[in-house]
Chains A and B, each alone.
Chain A
Amino acid sequence: MRTVSLPVAYMPLVDAAPLIIAQEMGFAETEGIALDLIAAPSWSSVRDMLAFGRVDAAHLLSPMPVAMAMGLGGVQTPISAVSVLSVNGDIIGVSRALEDRLREIAFDFDFADAAKAADALAKVADGTLVFGVPFPFSMHVELLRYWFEGTDLKDCRIEVRTVPPPLMAQALAEGDIDAFCVGEPWGSVAVDRGAGALLLPGKAIWAFAPEKVLAVRTEWAETEPHLLRRLMRAVWKAGRWLSQEESRTTTSEILSRPAYLDVPSELIDRALSGRFTISGQAEQRGVTDFVGFHRGAATFPWRSQAKWIAHRLSLANNLSSDTAQLAAEQVFRTDLYRRHLGGTEADLPGASEKLEGAIRHPTAVASEKGRMSLLPDMFFDGSVFEPMQSD
């Protein structure tokens, strides 16, 4: 088999691991492809490179292709999310000033209870709270908005502002922002630079949030099905490898290289192990499954996840939720996932949608191989999202 080189754009983040590992650990090579990984300076740049054909595939924020399908933002090229690259993995942090005020009211920084953290933050908020996020269409924004609405923070004046992740720690230190929601390693970088403290992992708001997707141009998926199949299989295997405990050290070493994230491997290990240093006082907190690449059918692009994103975006932009959900349904390609990962070791669920937020304990579900178990996916407020049914 002749090796075909595929240009792939990504943002240097811990959750780009499935792409980096697919290339570095030989999963791509086994499929007869070589990933030409291009680190992008911004999400707009990743999107444009994909939309205009500079790359064939990309690591994309899960709400980006959904927003594009809804006509939000500048670029309208049809994009398909063929699998989920990672679930969870965002982190919320606050400035030193807010940290001090939270300690004054004896807040314990439990790094787990979203409602409690919101109440405490609302109590100490003084004037407008400015939150930094990486991009206007991101799970970061959706998690924050959802959290604000369901807690005392709804009565606070809050501004959400875009700040490129590598500049987040500096913006926090200089007082441009009071808090942030960002992907690792940038939250831990902020702690290490003494700019702030970590408040919550993203999964405290939604326990199984699709964070990044593997995205391709819809037209490319149709004209290059064989390349797409090889790419999807390589990335799926990389995700499974990443889910093994013994892969952790190697992964953080590879990701820490200058060509990839260029930060110390110890910082990357925090996200992979779920063991965080949350403040300048070296307090440690643990989170299970802080970021997921495989377990619980993590890579399956549930249409209901896309519909939740579309529903939330429709509320924020005064659009029809039904129309938005119809558009979103075309973006998360369960059909391509089934077609290209069928007949491999990957298990396929019987359904393509689920009630989002209804799983409280690991639950066995009907699947092709009969050994699929879904992980808890609750929202912090206990509500359940029922996706719109198109027929």
Chain B
Amino acid sequence: MAMQSVMDSKLTIVVIEEDRDRAIAIVEALKESGNHDVHVVGPIAGLARKIAAYSPDVVLIDIDNPTRDILEELTLASGPLERPVAMFVSGAAGGLAQAAVEAGVSAYVVDGLQPERLKPVMDTAIARFRMVRQMRTELAETRRALEERKVIDRAKGLLMKAKGIDEDAAYALLRKTAMDQGRRVAEVAEALVTASGLLR
């Protein structure tokens, strides 16, 4: 199995990813990097059996996925010839491994696969995982910003009503309080909204 994969030009790659859109993005990127056989495994149930069915050369997984520890067990359990080992074993892959960890992707490769064959696959995967991760972070940040905007608007409204001031004055008051207390405007607004809810 390991010998064969070294000679074939085509790699069998399994991507473990539950989110369908992310899986598609990663699969497409990998296909661009070469004529590989790429499969996606989604749900956790029966993970070991599903991976074994493809007998992959490489398994790619998001570093934030808790099921990584199940893969660790697989790498230890299989027979010596078809033993997938973490790519990090190879000295040549050292820098690649670090980049992979930082980008949030882990790879498990079959023993005997040469690092230079893995490199284009990993480069592509790393680039794509980075992009997906950034999109996720940006989405979360946008969502948070919107939430905070709403809370600040509510707090401004409360202040305007309670103190009979205009919007600019209400915002200035929030900002001054935040500065005095060394907190963020959103936190002060949140506290005010919560407190006024209690008083009602």
Interface residues of A (CB under 8 A from B): 41-45, 48-49, 51-54, 72-76, 134-136, 161-164, 166-167, 176
Contact = CB atoms under 8 A, between A and B. Distances in A.
13 contacts: A41-B66, A48-B88, A49-B101, A52-B97, A74-B75, A74-B85, A74-B87, A74-B89, A74-B108, A134-B69, A136-B72, A164-B66, A164-B69
A164 B67 contact: yes
Contacts of A49: 101
Nearest to B64: A41
B44 interface: yes
Contacts of A163: 70
A41 B97 contact: no
B65 interface: yes
A73 B68 CA distance: 13
The contact size tier of chain B is: 20 to 34
B88 A44 contact: no
- Most B CB contacts (10 A, CB to CB) among A73, A135, A162, A176 go to A162
B76 interface: yes
Contacts of A76: 89
Interface string B53-71: 0000000000111111111
Given A41-B63, A167-B44, A48 B106 contact: yes
A-B CB proximity, top 3 nearest? A74-B86, A164-B66, A162-B73
Given A44-B106, A167-B44, A176-B45, A52 B101 contact: yes
A51 B106 CA distance: 13
A41 B85 CA distance: 20
Contact of B70 (A41, A48, A164): A164
Contacts of A48: 63, 88, 97, 101, 106
A144 B196 CA distance: 54
Given A75-B89, A162-B69, A136 B76 contact: yes
A163 B87 CA distance: 22
A44 B101 CA distance: 11
B166 interface: no
Contacts of B73: 136, 161-162
Contacts of B101: 48-49, 52, 54
Nearest to B89: A74
Interface string B108-137: 100000000000000000000000000000
A29 to B, nearest CB: 16
B130 to A, nearest CB: 15
A237 to B, nearest CB: 27
B147 interface: no
A24 B130 CA distance: 32
B98 interface: yes
B88 A51 contact: yes
Nearest to B75: A74
B72 A73 contact: yes
Contact of A54 (B67, B72, B102, B108): B102
Contacts of A176: 45
Contact of B69 (A42, A51, A53, A72): A42
